[in-house]
Amino acid sequence: MAQARKKKTAKKEKVIIFDTTLRDGEQAPGASLTSEEKLEVAHQLELLGVNVLEAGFPIASPDDFYAVKLIASRMKKSAVCALARCKDEDINAARDSLKKAKHPRIHVFLATSKIHLKYKFKKAEEEILELAVRAVRRARKFCPDIEFSPEDATRSDREFLYRVIEAAIDSGARTINIPDTVGYSYPQEIQALIEDIFSHVPNIGKAVISIHCHNDLGLATANSLSAVLAGARQIHCTLNGIGERAGNASLEELVMAMKVRRKAFRGVYTDINTKEIYRASRLVSTLTGFMVPPNKAIVGRNAFRHESGIHQDAILKKRSTYEIMNPRDIGIGKSQLVLGKHSGRHALLQRLKDLGFVLDKTKGERVFSRFKALADKKKQIFDDDLIALVEEEIRKKKKICSLVSVQVTTGTDIPPEAKVKIKYKGKVHEARSGGDGPVDACYKAIDKITKVRPKLLSYKLDAVTRGKDAQGMVRVEVQYKNKTIRGQGASTDVLEASVKAYLDTLNKILS
């Protein structure tokens, strides 16, 4: 009887969602966000229902510090976490950045694997153990909620790992996070590791076990779920799986796997409002410039599309023949023909609301006038067109340079020549240039004005929707002072979209 009751309780266990989009996710090359953009993502994460939101690594730079501080002062429900190495200055910065947080958490980390000890620290195990204890104790003085991560745990010597974990808990850590820092492990190994930690660390009952997986072998989601099967009750993850190198475990995959296959995962649940997933994914993709691959599970454009006639037919008869989730459960509405030239403000705002965008009056007005301008050029306006408009509006606030006009002459027998007018630092400037093609000519003309001259690494043009009059979405990647910066721009004119995308990167560089 007692056994049966125990089993029943276990079924209702919650898995804490620790989102690190703004810390590990932002460490993805080229993903850098401004503090305001981070705040926008943080608001969406709170709406999504993440329990803990890792807002950054305050010691890394004054910008990081400011972003954590800003987010800490605004979040009402989600705990706000700041990362720190086992150094006094890191812990102090984390403490200071979290002063206004309702629910602060300090996340202290220190590598425990032999390879890190030998090459990164040149320290012996005992010294590492001491550093960890000291740091956790120090952090605990400032904040009751301390998380400790033995970095590279999956490649660490087991006995040493158990000792560090035990000491960290004794020193006041409430959560022990197990990172697969280099994405080296596989599901059975992770499951065994977590089970072993439960059976070998005497005081483990005083802490929540967490998992942090990287995706170097494409196993981050599977590994994290294996940890849940072994009893981990917190998962570190990011939206769209962005993060260092191949990224982190993806929030949307984990949450939906546990929801769709709840019984298989011991009946655990999360607090995530899955209907906010799609919107959150779009926001992160828009602001970071990282496109979601069309075949990405849960949030990819094709995730709920059925091409084969046999599938389409079966779906019409019974949805579950080929769909294991309802797209509406993650907040994807039908992409339908929505509006046209004669649609009014109310219809537009209502449709945007259905798509998950609640705009204030000023933003609503601006999107409406953009919508009217687009409707003059394009008869049929789809949901994706509207999303592109709103995304442009979201990105707009940090414009130091913006497009006034662009004119290009080009042809099979004449070299391209661009005349570009941009508003730059409050004044309108004009420049002309030739180039290796019309886009190159435009970019060279802009370079003459701003003198920033980033190096173009990649250029990609996609249609936002179908039809010959579809808007073009240009995404570019540039390099500036060893940093990769992404930008995007949409328009029915692909040259205009190309210029907007380039200016988007310049705005990021200049701000």
Interatomic CA distance for residues 511 and 508, integer angstroms:
5
CA angle in degrees (0–180, nearest 5) for 480-485-488: 130
Residue nearest to Zn ion (CB): 24
Is 243 or 487 the residue whose CB approaches ligand KIV more closely?
A: 243
Kindly tell me which residue out of 25, 104, 172, 179 binds ligand KIV, with binding defined by CB under 6 A.
179
* Binding map of ligand KIV across residues 72-111, x = CB under 6 A, - = no contact: -------------------------------------x--
Task: Output the CA–CA distances (angstroms, integers) from residue 405 to 77, 101, 271, 421, 426, in the order listed.
Answer: 45, 45, 48, 5, 15
Task: Output the CA–CA distances (angstroms, integers) from residue 121 to 111, 113, 124, in the order listed.
Answer: 9, 11, 9
| Site for ligand KIV, residues 9 to 28, rule: CB under 6 A | 24
* Binding map of ligand KIV across residues 144-173, x = CB under 6 A, - = no contact: -----x-x----------------------
Among 286, 508, 476, CA closest to 399: 508
Is 151 or 166 the residue whose CB approaches Zn ion more closely?
A: 151
DSSP 3-state assignment of 326?
coil
CA atoms within 13 A on the CB side of 511: 21
CA angle in degrees (0–180, nearest 5) for 270-53-282: 80
Is 214 or 444 the residue whose CB approaches ligand KIV more closely?
A: 214
The phi and psi torsions of 459 (rounded to 5 degrees) equal -140, 130
Report the nearest approach of ligand KIV to the CB of residue 248 (Å).
Answer: 8
Report the nearest approach of ligand KIV to the CB of residue 213 (Å).
Answer: 9
Is 42 or 220 the residue whose CB approaches ligand KIV more closely?
A: 220
What's the order of all strands across the beta sheet hosting 427-434?
Answer: 401-409, 417-424, 427-434
Is 58 or 179 the residue whose CB approaches ligand KIV more closely?
A: 179
- Counting residues that bind ligand KIV (by CB under 6 A) gives 8
Which partner in ligand KIV, Zn ion, none is near 223 (CB below 5 to 8 A by kind)? none
Which partner in ligand KIV, Zn ion, none is near 151 (CB below 5 to 8 A by kind)? ligand KIV
Torsion of CA 110, 114, 119, 124, to 10 degrees: 80
| Site for Zn ion, residues 17 to 76, rule: CB under 5 A | 24
Partnered with residue 234 across adjacent β-strands are 16, 210
**Binding residues vs Zn ion (CB under 5 A):** 24
Interface with ligand KIV by CB under 6 A: which residues?
24, 109, 149, 151, 179, 181, 212, 214
